Amino acid sequence: MIVRGLPRVGGVWRRGFSSSATRREIIDIESLPDRIVPRYPESQTSDLLSLQWPSPPRNILIIKKDRAPHVTESLIEYAKHIHSNYDNVSLIFEPKVAAQMHKQFSFPVYTTSSAGALPRKVDMTTTLGGDGTILRAASLFSTTLHVPPVLSFSMGTLGFLGEWKFAEYKRAFREVYMSGAGAGSPLFQDQKHPHVKTMVDETGDIVTGWSSIRGKSMGPTRSSKVLLRNRLKVGVFDAEGHRVIGDNTAESAAGDVHAMNEVVIHRGKEAHLAIIEVFVGGRFLTEAVADGMIIATPTGSTAYSLSAGGNIVHPLVSSLLVTPICPRSLSFRTLVLPANTPITLRLSEKNRGRELEVSIDGRRRSHGISVGMEIRVNGEDIVKGSEWIGGVPCVMRGTISGREDDDGWVGGLNGLLKFNYPFGGDE
């Protein structure tokens, strides 16, 4: 099926697209096979999970940094490499990117005008950009419980979430693609997975799934390591307790939205302080008089919450942070609560008609909240292991080094956040 001029506007999937010549077409993702959901067994040697594909991934979503022309070059190089070496893989782009790029390729690319279709089709996401690009990629799955694994490449300046340097893309993609495909693994037998199509490779040989990839299998113990980043769930409710509908976005209609970093309410362009009631576990905790409030995940503890004075929480500590933004108080300190604590932020009647802004992972919602309205937050329920559910599975960069328990976090504190940077001259 070839899509022409898709009507939908607004949001990420803003731009329609048209297609042209045979090989340079843009195809709707509905024609792709349904996604393959990997398993995430706990690893013996590490606190991270292993990534185990039941069969090789096929539908790869590629998200690139916005308004960054220099990333486009890399995107082309990356896409061509995957197409040449992994024949049964299809590449999915955001509509705007698909429209811009498809002429560069001798093969069809995929997209969709309906963001809701992505969770059904995407096996894996790769991002080319910074932390903001990863957050945007995650936001495409903000209403689903099964986020496909994310392989992120940092372009230019390093980010705190981005794991791989772009120069490593060949090895990185291969590792993730092969992850969990042990020689002895029954999953390795493609005949048991008839949906893996037989193909003819460049040399004319018949290739079936992983066996088509040159080089030794990584073996089941050499699987990619995955850090499952806990998200938080956000619901917005009006003064009568009804979930607010009509945000003109798919998310709120379907229920809670998931955030990877945080949800923020902020006075925005209001000149005056906001008054926010905070409830924890159903109990009134305090009335914050402040510029705003942040409820963050441990992942988000190094983002806005840090700037607002919050402390640093390791992503594997199952918790939520409550951090005020410029509170009119000497005695408000960041709280770290169990992830399953319900937290409610309520706009006090004392605000007298002012509206506050709501942002999720740095993106402002089209509507703010007004007096009496509530933001209800909860940590996402995570079930780990083979039946895992929830979280954003981020592919870590440590497989080869042998330091298998290295989640890169300590390195990030030092290398990126300049944690406890020593005093003294650099002589």
Ligand X SMILES: NC(=O)C1=CN([C@@H]2O[C@H](COP(=O)(O)OP(=O)(O)OC[C@H]3O[C@@H](n4cnc5c(N)ncnc54)[C@H](O)[C@@H]3O)[C@@H](O)[C@H]2O)C=CC1
**Binding footprint of ligand X on the chain (CB under 6 A):** 130-132, 135, 159-161, 261-262, 272-273, 290-291, 299-300, 302-304, 307, 326, 328, 361-362
Other C-beta atoms within 10 Å of 7: how many?
A: 6
> Does 184 participate in binding a second copy (rule CB under 8 A)?
no
Contact between 313 and a second copy per CB under 8 A: yes
CA distance 178 to 220: 9
Instruction: Fill in the DSSP letter of residue 122.
Output: -
Minimum distance, C-beta of residue 359 to ligand X, in the bound complex (Å):
7
List binders of a second copy among 336-375 (CB under 8 A). Answer: 336-338, 340-341, 357, 359, 362-364
CA nearest to 298, candidates 268, 318, 272: 318
- By CB under 8 A, tell whether 291 contacts a second copy: yes
- By CB under 8 A, is residue 285 in contact with a second copy? yes
Of 223 and 302, CB closest to ligand X:
302
Q: Which does 340 bind (CB under 5 to 8 A by kind): a second copy, ligand X, none?
A: a second copy
Interface with a second copy, residue 70, by CB under 8 A:
no
Cβ atoms of 292 and 265 closer than 8 Å: yes
H/E segment holding residue 378:
strand 374-379
By CB under 8 A, tell whether 423 contacts a second copy. Answer: yes
Answer whether 234's CB lies under 8 Å from 258's CB: yes
Give CA–CA dist 72/68, Å, rounded.
7
For residue 254, what are its two tokens? 């379907």
Asked if residue 66 binds a second copy (CB under 8 A), the reply is no
**Amino acid making up residue 294:** I
Rounded to whole angstroms, the Cα distance separating 312 from 412 reads: 12
Q: In terms of CB distance, is 123 or 361 closer to ligand X? A: 361
- Cα separation, 326 vs 308, in Å, equals 7
Residue type, 3: V
Q: Which is nearer to ligand X, 131 or 175 (CB)?
A: 131
User: What residue type is assigned to position 330 of the chain?
Assistant: L
Amino acid at 253: A
Shortest distance, CB of residue 416 to ligand X, whole angstroms? 7
Of 10, 255, 281, 385, the residue at the interface with a second copy (CB under 8 A) is 281
Paired sense of beta strands 343-347 and 198-200, if any: unpaired
| Closer Cβ to a second copy, 17 or 304, answer by number | 304
Binding part of the chain for a second copy, among 34-42, 87-95, 225-233, 412-420 by CB under 8 A, reads 412-420
Q: Does residue number 410 form part of the binding site for a second copy (CB under 8 A)?
A: yes
**Residue 234 sits in the site that holds a second copy (CB under 8 A):** no
Closest CB to a second copy among residues 87, 277: 277
Closest by CA position to 251, among listed 357, 376, 142, 113 = 142
In the complex with a second copy, the residue whose CB is nearer, 103 or 283, is 283
Q: How far is the CB of 315 from a second copy (least distance, A)?
A: 9
Using CA atoms, how far apart are residues 351 and 274, in angstroms rounded to an integer?
Answer: 6
| Segment contacting a second copy by CB under 8 A, of 15-23, 87-95, 274-282, 389-397 | 274-282
316, two tokens: 């594997």
Segment contacting a second copy (CB under 8 A): 212-220, 237-245, 255-263, 277-285?
Answer: 277-285
